[in-house]
Amino acid sequence: MNEIMTEKQAARYLNRSTKTLQRRRRDGQISFIRDGRIYYRRADLDAYLAARRTEATKAPPPAPAPKYKPLNGRAKAHQDALLDII
């Protein structure tokens, strides 16, 4: 059975304000039931969310380049010599 929600409950379910819900209803984006008051079916709210879902279209950005260059052979020898002194 479909769960019926009041406007306030539906707004809380969608994490939106009641004003936003009213605008979506006025624009025909969300189905609703008018029976003295305005009610929403959970299935209709889920369909609204599913219709607004988008897939990622880009690959994630590449990892940033290392901040420092790796030591070459000569620099590594100097570093090792300094560490021996310490």
Residue ranges of domains in the chain: 4-52
pLDDT at 73 over 80: no
In terms of pLDDT, which residue wins out, 59 or 7? Answer: 7
**What is the token pair recorded at 58?**
């880009």
pLDDT of 57: 78
- Overall residue count recorded for the chain in this entry: 86
SS3 72: coil
Give tens-digit pLDDT for 20-44.
Answer: 999 999 999 999 999 999 999 999 9
pLDDT at 72 over 60: yes
Q: Give phi and psi for 6, each to the nearest 5.
A: -75, 170
How far from chain centre, in Å, is Cα 83? 48
Residue 42's identity, in one-letter code, is R
- Residue in the block written with tokens 């819900």: 21
* pTM of the predicted model as reported, rounded to 2 decimal places: 0.60
